[in-house]
Amino acid sequence: MKMKSPGIILGFILFISTGFQTDNRTPDTGFESIILVERHAIRSTHVYTYHEEDNKPGGGLYVFNLKNQKLQQILDSDEGLVLDANLHYDGKTILFSWKKEMDGFFQLYTIDIHGKNLTQLTDHPSNNFNACWLPNDEIAFLSDRKPAFAYCWSTTTPILYKCKADGTDPIRLSANYLNDFTPSVMEDGRILYSRWEYVDRPAIPIQSLWSINPDGTKLAGVFGNRVLSPATFMDAREIPGSDGKILCVMTAHNRHCHGAIGIIDPRTGGNAQEAIENITPEVRVRPVHQGDGNDIHGPYVNPFPLDEAHYLVSKNGDIEFRSYDNQIIQPLITGEGIDGLGFYSPQPVRKRPREMIISSTLASGETEDTAEEWATIQMMNVYNGLPETIEKGSIKKLAIVQEMEKPLSISPDLRAFGFQFPVVSSGATYAPKKVWGYATVEEDGSAHFQVPARQPVYFLPLDEEGRAVQRMRTFTHLMPGEVQGCVGCHADRNYVVSAVRKTPMALSRAAEQLSEPSWGVTGFSYPHLVQPIFDRHCLSCHGHSKPAANLELTGDKTDFFSVSYENLVRRGTPAEDFMMGGTHAPFDNTYTKWIPTYNGQEANILQIEPGVWGAQAAMLGAIIHSGHPDQNGARRIDLSYDEKHIISLWMDLNVPYYGGSHSNYQMNRGCRQQIPDDFQDLFADVARRRCISCHQQSNNTSVFSYPNQFALRIDNPALNPVLRAPLHPDHGGSGACAKVVFASEEDEDYQKLIQTFDRLQQRLSLLPRIDMVNLYE
């Protein structure tokens, strides 16, 4: 054990600032010393990457005596990085996350406050960190041992686990497919933590507060799952004696974890502006309905609520004792600033009462991965929370949908359609979707059904034609054997279920097993489910040749997708041009009314009125359900219920094209793009020689420099505008170019260009892109 040089210790030097009441007394903290982590600030690129990025060695664990100003080292980490620390209820045992060597992983350790009994708890080839004690002496922590990666980045997505006090019996509590953050325990025994998610929403603004029971049951939103700013609520702890108020960091998404400090009162409402009090007002946090939450640049991290009036916090590595009303701001110890070693995770050394121990209602052993992976949902009234305009009795079924996680790490340099790699849609859903099946909704709106356990699932209420009446745009997960009741769709959690006169009909019968979709329980693949319906019913008018309304619905493959998908989804939107990054340009896709998830589209998270998105709002939805009548009112198509439902479902799943994240072309743009070798070079050369006289400037950043074509057809390549437009009309040219460039297909340049596609097709026949493999056979 060594004493720290007193040179960096300033403790108790009064911070005097205009507007703050001066107070030069020793703060009556009620304790003598605090534990501290010393480390470098972790200036990660995002709030969710601190376990991997900008990790530097140095520092350790300390106890700082407030009275005699002595800083006593209890663990030296010159070669490694201590990330965080939490003191046990006994006031003696520190639980901490330590990357002992910088080429290793974070693992959990304990040590007593005198620096003795160092014990390693976890030894798994994964990061294990952000641990907290549970009142029954188990430990909740984050781990990235389940291989999953951020859809829009390359880092792992650690999620919530728990284990015994000695690190044994790890149990996964969370089924998030993105990151969970910083668990702590509330007085009523629930684990409070944050989670990142983007079900059919842009990726930046939603890092919100959630609670879950220590056995992994009863997941529930606490605050901020539909606010634009701040983007992130993390490092959250309940304020003792405050009637459920929460102290937390409020910060951005594309930045490290330091930010403003907020007090959240969730009882005011799940997304209410009035629920947020920014107690560090010098750090600007915009209102909940403005911006994307990404412009918060504050210095504060690791707030620790001491009582109803005071808290400890690290301000870029300086530890302060503060009151929530800012009447007291006293530095206790300072570090070397944001660029050097500083202090983090301050906590008082004292005993503290244990929180309530919530009983587990799961049958013994069912928390193990080997147990039957089903749980039960009791939905009381699906209409609860939906507007009066939705007629009672109009919802017939629920589709149970899973967001499929991304099991591979890909370089973000390969991104396309925003930040998709592998590409799943053209900037709509990030995740492939798996429909587990359907549950019956009774006349009174109740439903009682089984759902797959430990999966991120959400529910689509369907009308009698199979269209979604409302979108959930978030997910839940249940433990095996769990029974969870829900009040309804979009119901305010400040309401108790209103089934007071009669037991809901569905609860008078056993939980229903889901009826599986006809294509099986696997990812929803557009080319294999939707395209065949177009092939059967639409191609006589919307085929290759002079398609009606200039809408070709063939399944010819394009560089990323297929022609029908390009026309129904991408065409006429900023997604024509846009392949990488974000855009603020408005999207309004008439055909399919998909929800854009590009950065810059954050405001759409607030558009939650039913019927705004997907099949109920889309022209394609109207056409398939009306039978597409001609001028005389005669139906031109007659689709079966299943066919109509599949097309509607596709729109309501937010137009996924690919049914999975796997790819045979992980090194291609978006892990999908197929452009013939040499094509771009050849085309640039031809264009330079033969097109530049007309096409003087580029307005297209997607594929090509000059011609106005947003997708490249790889089946029937001769139909590509870049080849048809310059071709003589007598030889099948479209006449779109003002002058003929290729007199016939025999043109040398034409031949060079078209032959590149033959080689591509040969390669694809050996190693197909996954939309060319029938997933359902």
Partner 1 sequence: MKKSLPISIVIFILLISGFGPSQDADTPFLSPTSICIDAEAREGFISLSTAAQIAIVDLKAGRMKDRIDLPFNPRDIIRVPDSQSIVVADQEPEGSVHVISTHNHQIVKSIRVGHTPQSLVMTPDKSRIFVCNRFSHTVSVIDTDTYQVITEIPVGREPVSAAASPQGSWIAVADYLPDMAATDTLVAAKVHLIDSKSLEPAASITLTNGSQSVRDLVFSADGCYLYASHVLSRNTLPTTQIEHGWINCNGISIIDVKKKELLTTILLDRYDQGAANPAGMSLTGQGRELAVALSGVHAVAFLDLTGLHDRLSRCSPQEISQIPYDFKFLQGLIRQVPTRGKSPRYVAGFEDQVLVSCYFSDRLEVFTDLAEHAQIKEIALGKDPKMTAERLGEWYFSDADLCFQKWQSCISCHPDGRADGLNWDLLNDGMGNPKNGKSMLYSHFTPPVMITGVREKAEVAVRSGIKYILFSEVDEEQALCIDAYLKSLHPVPSPWLEKGKLSRSARKGQRIYEQAGCQTCHSGPYYTDYLKYDVGTGTGTHENEKFDVPTLKEVWRTAPYLYDGRARTMKEVLTRFNPHDEHGRTSHLSEDELNDLAAYILSL
Question: x/- site string to partner 1, residues 127 to 146, per CB under 8 A?
Answer: ---------x----------
- Return the biggest CA–CA distance within the chain: 95
- Choosing from 33, 347, 484, 583, the residue that interacts with partner 1 (CB under 8 A) is 484
Minimum distance between the CB of residue 233 and partner 1, rounded to whole angstroms? 17
Shortest gap between Cβ of 436 and partner 1 (angstroms)?
21
**Residue 481 found at the interface with partner 1 (CB under 8 A):** no
Residues 179-218, interacting with partner 1 (CB under 8 A)? 188-189, 218
Residue 295 backbone class (left: φ over 0; alpha: ψ -120 to 50; beta: rest): alpha
Report the C-alpha gap between 689 and 67 in whole angstroms.
81
* Closest to partner 1 by CB, 59 or 216: 216
Sequence-distant (≥ 6) Cβ neighbours of residue 282 within 8 angstroms: none
Q: How far is the CB of 59 from partner 1 (least distance, A)?
A: 38
**Helical segments of 555-664, H only:** 563-565, 619-626, 641-652
Q: Count how many Cα atoms sit within 13 Å of the Cα of residue 543 in the half-sphere of its side chain.
A: 7
Stretch touching partner 1 by CB under 8 A, among 17-25, 350-358, 521-529, 689-697: 350-358
Pick from 102, 496, 622, 692 the residue near partner 1 by CB under 8 A. 496
Q: Which two tokens stand for residue 769?
A: 């892109």
Q: Of the ranges 146-154, 352-360, 574-582, 655-663, which one interacts with partner 1 (CB under 8 A)? A: 352-360
Touching partner 1, residues 638-677 (CB under 8 A) = none
User: Cβ 393 to partner 1, closest distance in Å?
Assistant: 20
Q: Where are the beta strands (DSSP E) in 126-219?
A: 128-133, 139-143, 159-163, 171-172, 180-185, 191-196, 207-212
Decide: is 498 part of the binding site for partner 1 (CB under 8 A).
yes
Peptide bond into 596 cis (omega under 30): no
Residue from 123, 243, 516, 681 touching partner 1 (CB under 8 A): that is 243
How many residues bind partner 1, per CB under 8 A? 40
* Smallest gap from residue 722 Cβ to partner 1 (A): 59
| Closest CB 701 distance from partner 1, rounded Å | 48
Angle (deg, nearest 10), helices 748-766 and 679-690: 160
- Of 25, 501, 546, 739, which lies in the binding site for partner 1, with binding defined by CB under 8 A? 501
The answer to whether 500 touches 277, Cβ cutoff 8 Å, is: no
Strand partners of residue 476: 457
Nearest approach, Cβ of 593 to partner 1 (angstroms)? 31
**Region binding partner 1 by CB under 8 A among candidate stretches 156-164, 363-371, 485-493, 768-776:** 485-493
- Which residues are 371's β-sheet partners? none
The answer to whether 692 contacts partner 1 (rule: CB under 8 A) is no
Nearer to partner 1, 273 or 494 (CB): 494
Cβ within 8 Å of residue 386, ≥6 positions away: 469, 470, 488, 489, 490, 610
Cβ–Cβ under 8 Å, residues 481 and 540: no
Query: Residues 249, 487, 595, 647: which binds partner 1 (CB under 8 A)?
Result: 487
What is the DSSP track for 14-27? ----TTSPP--SPP
C-beta of 223 vs 526, nearer to partner 1: 223
Cβ proximity to partner 1, 124 vs 354, nearer residue = 354
The CA-based angle 678-684-685, given to 5 degrees, is 90
Q: Which residue has the tokens 């990357």?
A: 99
CB atoms within 10 A of CB 300: 24
354 binds partner 1 (CB under 8 A): no
Would you say 357 or 692 has its CB closer to partner 1?
357
Q: Which is nearer to partner 1, 391 or 638 (CB)?
A: 391
Closest separation between CB of residue 763 and partner 1, Å? Answer: 55
Instruction: Choose which of 116, 125, 413, 502 interacts with partner 1 (CB under 8 A).
Output: 502
Contacts of 137 (CB under 8 A, 6+ apart): 164, 165
| Residue 37: closest CA among 15, 53, 58, 66 | 58
Residue 646 CA to residue 628 CA, distance in Å, equals 17
Which segment (168-176, 490-498, 527-535, 607-615) binds partner 1 by CB under 8 A? 490-498
The interface with partner 1 within residues 370-389 (CB under 8 A) comprises 378, 380
What's the rounded Cα separation, in Å, for the pair 636 and 394? Answer: 27
- Select the residue interacting with partner 1 from 57, 331, 485, 768 (CB under 8 A): 485
Nearer to partner 1, 484 or 592 (CB): 484
Residue 322 CB, shortest distance to partner 1, in Å, is 22
| Closest to 173 measured CA to CA, from 483, 479, 484, 485 | 479
CB nearer partner 1, residue 268 or residue 666? 268
Closest distance of CB 479 from partner 1, Å: 13
Q: Does 242 bind partner 1 (CB under 8 A)?
A: no
According to the binding rule CB under 8 A, does residue 766 interact with partner 1? no
Pick from 3, 16, 357, 619 the residue near partner 1 by CB under 8 A. 357
Considering only residues 250 to 289 of the shown chain, the ones binding partner 1 according to CB under 8 A are 266-269
Using CB under 8 A as the binding rule, whether residue 776 contacts partner 1 is answered as no
Residue 453: CB minimum distance to partner 1, A: 15
**Interaction with partner 1 in 506-535: which residues (CB under 8 A)?**
507-511
Cis ω before 230 (30° cut-off from 0): yes
CA angle 39–42–45, rounded 5-degree value: 175
Length of the chain (residues): 777
Listed ranges 249-257, 465-473, 477-485, 729-737: which one lies at the site for partner 1 (CB under 8 A)? 477-485
Q: Which is nearer to partner 1, 136 or 680 (CB)?
A: 136
Kindly tell me which residue out of 80, 298, 348, 504 binds partner 1, with binding defined by CB under 8 A: 504
What does DSSP say about strands 374-379 and 483-486: parallel, antiparallel, or unpaired? parallel
Contacts 24+ apart (CB under 8 A), 697-705: 699/577, 700/577, 701/577, 701/578, 701/579, 702/576, 702/577, 702/578, 702/579, 703/559, 703/675, 704/680
> In the complex with partner 1, which residue's Cβ is closer, 224 or 670?
224
Q: Could you give the CA distance from residue 239 to residue 236 in angstroms, rounded to a whole number?
A: 9
Check residue 495 for interaction with partner 1 (CB under 8 A): yes
Residues that bind partner 1 (CB under 8 A): 136, 188-189, 218, 220, 243-244, 266-269, 356-359, 361, 378, 380, 483-485, 487, 492-504, 507-511
